[in-house]
Structure 1
Amino acid sequence: MARSTERPQPPRVSPPDLPDELDDAVGRRHGDHIGQRIPLAEDLAHAQFEQCSLSGTADRVDLTGATLLDVEIVDARTPVLSLKDATIRRLRIAGGRIGTLDLSGAHVAELMLEHARIDYLSLAATKIQDSLITDCTLATVDIPAATATRVRFERCRADEVDTRGLRADALDLRGLEAVAFVDVTALRGTTMTERQVELLAPAFARAAGIDVQD
C-alpha cells in the first residue's frame, strides 16, 4: 500500500471502541475496570480502565498514573482533571468545563479532545502522537519539552502557548488561533498558515537577532 504524501501527515486517530452496554460501577484507586460506566471521583489514581465511560462533576479528579484504553470522558466539570504520567490509548474527552487538564509526563496515543473549555492544558514532557484537538477554547497551552507527532488542532483558540523545548513532527497548528507563542525558535516541525507566520514575524526577527524598529 502506497504511503500518504499529505503534509503534514494527519493524525491516525479513531474513537474509543466501547461496548453497546456498560455496567454502572464506582471507580476506585488501583481499581481494574472493564466495560463500566463510572462517575468521576476524586481519587482514581493508578487505576486501569478499559472500554469505560466516565462523566460527572467533582472537586478534583486524580487519574495520576492511570491506564486508559478505549475510554471516553464526557461533560467533565472539575477544577482539576489530572492524567499526569498516565498511559493512554484511544481516549476521547468531549465537552465539559475543566480548570486544569494535566497530561504532563503522560504517554498518549490517539487522543480526541473536543468541544471543551479548558483554562490550562498541560502537555509538559508528554509524549503525544496521533491526536486531534477540535473546537476547544484554551486559555493557556503548556507544551515545554513535549514530543508531539501527528497532532492537529482544528478550530481552537488560545491566549498563550509555551513551546520551550518542544520536539515536533507533523504538529499542525493551522487550526490554533493563538495570541502568543513563548518560544518561536521551538516551532521547528510544525505547520502554520502564512497569516500565522506573518503575525509572528517580529518574534522570529528578534529570535534571529534582528532589531525591529519603525
Structure 2
Amino acid sequence: MARSRKTDFPTLSPLFLPELEAGDPELLTIRGSYELTRFADADVSERDLSGVTFSECELIGLSANNSSLRGARLLETRVEQLNAPVFPAPRVQLREVEITHSRLGAAEMYDAVLQQALFAHCKLGWVNLRASDLSNVVFRDCVISELDLVDARLKRVSFENCRADVIHLSGAKLEHVDLRGLEIGTLSDAASLRGATLSSSQAASLTRVFAEHLGILVED
C-alpha cells in the first residue's frame, strides 16, 4: 500500500534586530559591508550596489529603481516599502530576510539563493527566479504578475492568500511546495508540479493543463 505524503511547511525564525544606528543611504557603495544600521527614506535609484552586504540591517522606504544589486547579500535584514520598477539583483542571497509592503516591477533575481525569506503584502511584477534555490520561503498576501521558476529548486515553500497571473515551472524541482494559498492564472509544464500540494479546487481548475501534459483531448 502506498504511503501517504505529508507536506512539510517552511520554517522561519522570527527576525529580532538589536538597536540600530541611522545610516546615510548616499554613502552606500559597491561591495560595501554594513551591519546594525538602518537606511531610510531615500532615493538610491540608478546606483551600482553590486556585491553589497547588509547584515542585521533595516532598509525602510527606499526608492531603488534600476539600482544594481548583483551578487548582493542580505542577512538577517528587514526591508519595508521598497519601490523598484526595475530591480536587477541576479545572484542575490537572502538569508533570514523579511520583505514587506514593497513594490517590485521587473525583478531579475535569477541564480539567487533564498533561505528563510518572507515576502508579505507585496505587489510584484515579473519575478525572474530562474535556476534559483529557495528553501523555507513564504509568500503572504502578495500579487504577482508573472513568476518565472524555470530550472529553480524549491524546498518548503508556501503561498498564503496570493495570486499569480502566470507561472513558469519548466525544469523546476519541487519538494514540499504548498500552492493551496495561491490563485493561479496560467501555468506552464504540469510535469514540474511533482512535489507540490494543490487543493481539490485547484486540481479541478487545472484539468486541461494535466490533460494536455498526458496527451488527452478534452471535448464536450
Amino acid at match of 2:17: L
Segment drifting more, 12-21 vs 153-162: 12-21
Q: In 2, Cα distance between the equivalents of 1:165 and 1:110?
A: 23
SS in 2 for 1:17: coil
Q: In 2, Cα distance between the equivalents of 1:103 and 1:22?
A: 29
Runs of 4+ residues deviating >4 angstroms? none
For structure 1, the residue ranges without an aligned partner over 5 or more in a row are none
Determine whether 1:79 maps to 2:85: yes
Deviation at 1:6, TM superposition (A): 8.9
For structure 2, the residue ranges without an aligned partner over 5 or more in a row are none
Match of 1:48 in 2: 53
Segment drifting more, 149-158 vs 20-29: 20-29
SS in 1 for 2:81: strand
Q: In 2, Cα distance between the equivalents of 1:20 and 1:36?
A: 9
Q: In 2, Cα distance between the equivalents of 1:68 and 1:143?
A: 21
Q: In 2, Cα distance between the equivalents of 1:69 and 1:40?
A: 22
Segment drifting more, 199-208 vs 98-107: 98-107
Deviation at 1:101, TM superposition (A): 2.4
Q: In 2, Cα distance between the equivalents of 1:59 and 1:145?
A: 27
Match for 2:171 among 165, 170, 192? 165
Instruction: Give matches, 1:23-34, under 5 Å.
Output: 23-26=22-25, 27-34=28-35
Q: In 2, Cα distance between the equivalents of 1:212 and 1:50?
A: 53
**TM-score (norm: length of structure 1):** 0.92
Deviation at 1:53, TM superposition (A): 1.0
Instruction: Give matches, 1:1-214, under 5 Å.
Output: 7-26=6-25, 27-38=28-39, 39=42, 41=44, 42-55=47-60, 56-214=62-220
CA contact (8 A) 1:15 1:92 kept: no
Amino acid at match of 2:56: Q
Q: In 2, Cα distance between the equivalents of 1:11 and 1:61?
A: 30
Deviation at 1:154, TM superposition (A): 0.3
CA contact (8 A) 1:16 1:51 kept: no
Q: Identity, % of aligned pairs?
A: 29
Q: In 1, Cα distance between the equivalents of 2:70 and 2:52?
A: 9
- What RMSD over aligned residues (CA atoms) do the two structures have, in Å? 1.7
Pick closer, same or farther for the CA change 1:163–1:40 going to 2, 3 Å.
farther
CA contact (8 A) 1:73 1:94 kept: yes
Q: In 2, Cα distance between the equivalents of 1:169 and 1:204?
A: 19
